[in-house]
A and B are shown apart, each in its own frame.
Chain A
Amino acid sequence: MMEMKRIIVILTLISIFVLSFGFGASAELFRVAFIMPSAINDFAWSQSMYEALLTIQKEMGKENFEFVYSENMFVVADAAAAIRDYASEGYDLVIAHGSQYGASLSDIAPDFLDTSFAWGSTANVFTDLGITNIFAYEPLSEQGGYVNGALAAKLSKNNIYGVIGPIETGDAKRYTEGFKAGIKSVKPDAKINVTWIGSYSDVALASEAAQAHIDAGADVLTGTSQMTIGAIGVAKQRGVLWFGYDVDQSALAPQNVVASVDVIWAITLKPMIEMIRKGERGGKIFTLNLANGGLKIVVNDEALVGKTIEDIVKGNIEVKVEE
């Protein structure tokens, strides 16, 4: 008898849950599922997208915009299962926020023609495979790197720079190439040292790489991915400048983080949502660049102003008034 009662209770609870899911949705509600390879608080790639979704939710209102997420989906097969599952639950947009998810997406998308998928960072929407419901997005990180590099060159005294990257591929490689080009545009004779940590998460090694860069004379550092928090700590401790990427990193070292390239994912998500509402399911590649505001250089006044004043005081910068 007890068993029977328990089963009834369970069944009731489940049906309430299912019903609330099935019929609770209003016609206006736009539902997004977001799958990412690292954690929502990685202070880099995933966190920036998570914050973009929060921003959109704030603007559109919780009653009109709802999103769910699966974090730490670094195992591609798990991510694929999540993508398929969310699609089958009728989400309007499923964001596969990792370049490694592409192959799974091209398998899954044709089975769910009513769902839109977004994949980044890439410039491939699989139109060659006849797929129509995948959007792609790609930040031109080299542009952000270039601006950071040009700024870095203006601020560096030693003309030696250090880059701390994860693996020499993808976004990190492009950002680094841009950073180098930016420096060279100002100071062609610059010395730019690059280290690759071989991992996105080895904070301790990133920290030692920063130490080695500073020992080698670098007074401006930059880098990408979540492990750079180790390097920012060293920049703070040893008083060198840092240029950030993905999110505004100035909170970690207000005196040292001069500028961060903030990726404004909302710039692509908003038109994407509009298109989906109009019935277009995919096929478009969005780029995030400086021109469309997808990349924003967040200058941290505290560090930049502080550094400028310090340079004037120390006589590194001579302010001349021309007549």
Chain B
Amino acid sequence: MEAIIIGIAKSAIRLATPYLYASIGETIGQLSGVLNLGVDGVMLMGAFSAFYTVLKTGNLWLGLLVAIVVGAIFGLLIAFINVTLKAEQGISGIGVYIFGLGLSSLLFSTMVGTVQTVSGFSPLSIPWLSNIPIVGEIFFHQNILVYGAFALIPLAWFILNKTPLGLSIRAVGQNPEAADSLGVSIVRIRYFTVVLGGMLSGIAGASLSIALLNVFQQNLTNGMGFIAVALVYFGAWRPATVLTGALLFSTVNAIQIWVQVHGINIPSDFTLMMPYIVTIVVLAAMAKRRIHPPAALNKPFERGE
């Protein structure tokens, strides 16, 4: 029983890692009022650029850095289209997704050619903590990007709730007119959050290609970026609840694999559905909770004259 729990929990934590980076990035962007459906495309670009850098140089930190830079460039692109050009955010995100998917596949075809592996970040046992029974085994024998993803949650909470910057981000998403009249630059804040979101999506991709899977293939993320966006709504723009959602989704997924491995006789299609069904049902069951969506989400800011 103990081994089963450890196995499922470790699996869930690994599965949740890319979602955490991408969902927190998206949460921050949405809190400032920008919806980006193109997370998956940015993740793919991050995954490819990190993979390629590591393949050519063997330097993992450089790979991570390149993924962050590429993510930031995509963030700038998204911010330019959504904030400066005030495009319809639902559709521009789809454009970003199609573009990122195509470009990463194209670069892979022309620059790498065939499937290869790299040696990525290896598990890093945290001294002392990793010796705690069960908990230590589950949480403290992971790789550095997994730790990073979990460390991001309190960090994001702190920034969003306890700093002037967080206050400005929320103000811009909640009531841009008021924020504007108080001298907060809507454009600057939104550029900042979207670029930050791009960087985090880049890390999310890198966590797949140079830490968890250590390989790249066309469409490596297989739609994870869309799940990451969905988890933002599950989390109702709160980092801790985003974490709950990501862990819920990933745990159910880990359990359904476990159910299959142990030959429990349910058609695989139904077990595969479970993470999606459970996420919806749990969210519906929480209908009574109070949600404060950023009022200006998906609404470009126009200064009244």
- Decide: B213 and A207 in contact? CB cutoff 8 A: yes
- Decide: A195 and B260 in contact? CB cutoff 8 A: yes
- Decide: B217 and A43 in contact? CB cutoff 8 A: yes
In the bound assembly, the distance between CA atoms of A168 and B213 in angstroms comes to 24
Residue of A whose beta carbon sits closest to that of B117: A252
B-contact bits for A167-179, CB 8 A (1 contact / 0 none): 1100000000000
Of residues 247 through 305 on chain B, the ones whose CB sits less than 8 Å from some CB of chain A are 253-254, 257-258, 260-263, 268-269, 272
In the bound assembly, the distance between CA atoms of A88 and B290 in angstroms comes to 62
- Given contacts A41-B109, A43-B114, is CB(A204)–CB(B222) below 8 Å? yes
Q: How far is the CB of B204 from chain A (nearest CB, A)?
A: 11
A-contact bits for B10-23, CB 8 A (1 contact / 0 none): 11001100100000
- Given contacts A39-B109, A199-B222, A211-B11, is CB(A229)–CB(B217) below 8 Å? yes
- Decide: B222 and A208 in contact? CB cutoff 8 A: no
- Decide: B262 and A216 in contact? CB cutoff 8 A: yes
Of residues 25 through 65 on chain A, the ones whose CB sits less than 8 Å from some CB of chain B are 39-43, 47
- Decide: B260 and A194 in contact? CB cutoff 8 A: yes
Does residue B113 face the partner (Cβ distance < 8 Å to A)?
yes
- Given contacts A41-B108, A212-B7, is CB(A204)–CB(B213) below 8 Å? yes
Does residue A215 face the partner (Cβ distance < 8 Å to B)?
yes
- Decide: A204 and B269 in contact? CB cutoff 8 A: no
Q: Which of A72, A205, A232 has the most CB of B within 10 A?
A: A205
- Decide: B217 and A208 in contact? CB cutoff 8 A: no
- Decide: A39 and B105 in contact? CB cutoff 8 A: yes
Q: Which of B14, B105, B213 has the most CB of A within 10 A?
A: B213
A interface residues, Cβ below 8 angstroms from B? 39-43, 47, 72, 162, 167-168, 193-199, 201-205, 207-209, 211-213, 215-216, 226, 229-230, 232-233, 236, 251-253
Does residue B246 face the partner (Cβ distance < 8 Å to A)?
no
Residue of A whose beta carbon sits closest to that of B214: A233
- Given contacts A211-B11, A212-B11, is CB(A229)–CB(B215) below 8 Å? yes
A208 contact from B3, B215, B257, Cβ within 8 A: B257
Does residue B228 face the partner (Cβ distance < 8 Å to A)?
no
Contacts of A162 in B (CB 8 A): 261
- Decide: B257 and A195 in contact? CB cutoff 8 A: yes
- Given contacts A39-B218, A43-B217, A199-B222, is CB(A204)–CB(B212) below 8 Å? yes
- Decide: A212 and B258 in contact? CB cutoff 8 A: yes
29 A-B pairs, CB-CB below 8 angstroms? A40-B109, A41-B109, A42-B218, A43-B115, A193-B263, A194-B260, A195-B261, A196-B260, A196-B272, A197-B272, A201-B218, A203-B217, A203-B220, A203-B222, A204-B15, A204-B18, A204-B208, A205-B15, A205-B257, A207-B213, A208-B14, A208-B15, A211-B10, A212-B261, A213-B261, A215-B3, A229-B215, A236-B117, A252-B215
In the bound assembly, the distance between CA atoms of A229 and B220 in angstroms comes to 11
Q: How far is the CB of A192 from chain B (nearest CB, A)?
A: 9
Does residue B28 face the partner (Cβ distance < 8 Å to A)?
no
A233 contact from B114, B213, B219, Cβ within 8 A: B213
- Decide: A216 and B261 in contact? CB cutoff 8 A: yes
- Decide: B253 and A205 in contact? CB cutoff 8 A: yes
Main SS at interface, chain B: helix
Contacts of B214 in A (CB 8 A): 233
In the bound assembly, the distance between CA atoms of A283 and B18 in angstroms comes to 50
- Decide: A233 and B263 in contact? CB cutoff 8 A: no
Contacts of B254 in A (CB 8 A): 208, 212
A198 contact from B213, B215, B269, Cβ within 8 A: B269
Q: How far is the CB of B229 from chain A (nearest CB, A)?
A: 17
Residue of A whose beta carbon sits closest to that of B109: A41
Does residue B195 face the partner (Cβ distance < 8 Å to A)?
no
Does residue B224 face the partner (Cβ distance < 8 Å to A)?
yes
In the bound assembly, the distance between CA atoms of A201 and B272 in angstroms comes to 14
In the bound assembly, the distance between CA atoms of A72 and B105 in angstroms comes to 11
- Decide: A168 and B15 in contact? CB cutoff 8 A: no
Q: How far is the CB of A59 from chain B (nearest CB, A)?
A: 21
Contacts of B261 in A (CB 8 A): 162, 193, 195, 209, 212-213, 215-216
Of residues 171 through 209 on chain B, the ones whose CB sits less than 8 Å from some CB of chain A are 208
Q: How far is the CB of A137 from chain B (nearest CB, A)?
A: 24
Contacts of A207 in B (CB 8 A): 212-213
A-contact bits for B99-121, CB 8 A (1 contact / 0 none): 00000010011000111110000
Q: How far is the CB of B148 from chain A (nearest CB, A)?
A: 17
Apart from A41-B113, A215-B3: 9 A-B pairs, beta carbons within 8 A: A43-B217, A193-B261, A195-B260, A202-B222, A204-B18, A208-B14, A229-B115, A229-B213, A229-B217
